[in-house]
Amino acid sequence: MDTIRRFQLPFFFLLAFRFQLVPSASQAQTTPDNTEESLKLTVQIRPRAEYRNGLFTPILDKQTAAGFVVQRSRLGIHYTKENKLTVGLEVQMLGTWGNDPQVQGNSSNINLFQAWVQFPILPHLDIKIGRQILSYDDERILGELDWNNAGRKHDAALFRFKKEKFSADFAAAYNQNSERVTNDFYNDTNSQPYKTMELLWLNYQPIKPLSVSLLAINIARQNSLDSQMSYLQTIGFNAGFKQKKLSLNLSSYYQTGQNKTPNAPNTQAWMASIYANYDFSNKFSIGLGSDYLSGQDMGSIPNKNTVFVPLYGTQHKFYGSMDYFYAGSAHQNVGLWDNYFSARYKPVKNFSTQLTWHHFQAASKVLDYSAQAANPQLGDELDLSLQYQLENGIKLSGGYSQFFASESIKYVKNTPKTSTLNAVQNWVWLSLNFNPEIFLFTR
């Protein structure tokens, strides 16, 4: 495989310097204590095998399942000097095993994932500018989307203030398709999904177990018909509490403004979530949660838009691993009420497993093929995941998911009336994540 050959050299380089490896994360910026200057190399090679038999949307009877191996390969360099200057550069190659010929003719699947510089401009205030990840709180609204092979990045300037118990971030982005002499229209079809974006995040920790955040985002998009701008605002909070064995999380967001469709009605949409987790021991814990995202009745012509859009969050984390809602195909904008229960077991230090049950219900009216009101129950999903830490920087993970479809899932997924769903809707995956750091020098 060409993808593998391109990374043979870094791979054997890592083996040769194995004694320098430490665990890594995609945004890792850690350096050894008391270090004035350091340069490190980050590597990620993450192949993932998948069997898809009803992922994103129900598979129909007589349709065949899909199987493949996809791989993300990343190579990054991070430089830090006296905690006053940090530079990050990361490239990635995405591909499916077998897609490229043995003798590759082009490298169009290689792109720049991150390229940023961060430095202080005032006491307690830094600026981070360039291509970067924007991830906040539990990633419901803004997240890294690490499950997706490509991940999610933004081209932005980020101002970061931190003093004692208070933190504040302000980010701004202005996008264009190319260097131009005339015409200011921005086509977001295959580019960043907005022309401009402003973000404000405030976080306060009055006491150690409690953290409260406020997030406000303004998104501007441009209409292709008349180049008019439309603005969508999202504002809300996230509160987390952890005391000994009990963890609680509560969040809620409200959206107002307009989407970029001409003469679109004003938006008045909202979402709320609550989650509680209890650790019975250091090996076993259970969690219980509920998420509600407002939607719109099927077949209605409303004078306001009540469909909440969770923007650029990591929805795979929340609404079922099979991505039937928000992360995959559309579901007729009927919103979602997701009630779920999870149990996590960690028998030994380097192995853990989690089982989660979701019950999905539409938040608005569902219509059947005859335009009559249908049952709002959309189905249930069972998600099993396992993780095994082989050694520092190497992790094996896998999972099995099954969706138990109701009749109404056919209506919201635009399944043809004459079609029959496959008796089993499931998904299986197995992934190896090789993700070390190599300190080239520290001093």
Which pLDDT value is given to residue 102? 86
The residue written with tokens 């979602």 in the block is: 336
The answer to whether residues 182 and 201 touch, using CB atoms and an 8 Å cutoff, is: no
CA distance 22 to 442: 14
Q: What percent of the chain has pLDDT over 90?
A: 81
Among 310, 157, 159, 177, residue whose Cα is nearest residue 232: 310
Nearest to 375 by CA among 412, 402, 341: 412
State the average pLDDT over residues 102-126.
Answer: 88
342, 346, 354, 343: which is closest to 389 by C-alpha? Answer: 346
Residue 3 confidence (pLDDT): 40
Distance CA 344, CA 381 (A): 17
pLDDT, position 32 = 55
In the chain, the N- to C-terminal Cα span, in Å, equals 39
Non-local (6+) Cβ contacts of 103 within 8 A are: none
Q: Identify the band that residue 118 occupies on the pLDDT scale cut at 50, 70 and 90.
A: very high
Residue predicted with more confidence, 113 or 21: 113
Which of the four pLDDT bands, split at 50, 70 and 90, describes residue 28? Answer: very low
Burial class (CB in 10 A: 0-12, 13-18, 19+), 317: middle
Q: Is the confidence at residue 18, as pLDDT, over 70?
A: no
pLDDT at 311 (0 to 100): 96
pLDDT score, position 34:
60
Does pTM surpass 0.85?
yes
What pLDDT shows up at residue 313?
A: 96
| CATH code of the domain in which 367 resides | 2.40.160.100
Q: Are 138 and 252 in contact (CB under 8 A)?
A: no
90: confidence class by pLDDT, cuts 50, 70, 90: very high
42-69: pLDDT as tens digits: 999 999 999 999 999 999 999 999 999 9
Q: Is the pLDDT of residue 25 over 60?
A: no
In the predicted model, what is the mean pLDDT of residues 411-429?
Answer: 96
Average pLDDT, the chain: 91
Chain Cα centroid distance, residue 195? 21
Which tens digits make up the pLDDT trace of 347-392?
999 999 999 999 999 999 999 999 999 999 999 999 999 999 998 8
φ/ψ (deg, to 5) at 414? 55, 35
Please state the domain count of the chain.
1
122 neighbors 155 (Cβ within 8 angstroms): no
Q: For residue range 242-295, list pLDDT tens digits in order.
A: 999 999 999 999 999 987 776 789 999 999 999 999 999 999 999 999 999 999
Sequence length of the chain is: 443
Q: Whole domain around residue 277: which residue ranges?
A: 2-442
Task: Decide if pLDDT at 401 tops 60.
Answer: yes
Residue 357: Cβ within 10 Å count: 14
